[in-house]
Amino acid sequence: MSNREWPLWEVFIRSKQGLNHKHVGSLRAPDATLALENARDVYTRRSEGISIWVVESNYVHASDPSDADSLFEPSDTKVYRHPTFYDVPDGVKHM
Partner 1 sequence: MKNESLYNYVLRLGDDSLILGQRLGEWCGHGPILEEDIAMTNISLDLIGQAMSLLDYAGEIDGNGKDHDALAFLRFENEYQNALLVEQPNGDFADTMMRQFLFDAFRQPLFEKLVHSSDAQLSAIAEKSLKETRYHLKHTSEWIIRLGDGTEESHTRAQKALDNLWRYTDELFSETSADLSLVTSGIVPSMVEIKEVWNKTVHAVFAEATLQIPTNNWQFEGGRRGVHSEHLGYLLADLQYMQRAYPNMKW
| Alpha carbon distance 54, 39 (integer Å) | 8
Would you give the binding string for partner 1 spanning residues 42-61, x where CB under 8 A is met?
x--x----------------
* Pairing of β 21-28 and β 51-56: unpaired
Query: Does 78 interact with partner 1 (rule: CB under 8 A)?
Result: no
| Alpha carbon distance 95, 78 (integer Å) | 22
State whether residue 41 is helix, strand or coil.
helix
Residue 53 bridge partners (DSSP): 12
Between 2 and 66, CB nearer to partner 1: 2
Query: Does 13 interact with partner 1 (rule: CB under 8 A)?
Result: no
Would you give the binding string for partner 1 spanning residues 19-38, x where CB under 8 A is met?
--------xxxx--xx--xx
Residues that bind partner 1 (CB under 8 A): 1-2, 6, 27-30, 33-34, 37-38, 40-42, 45
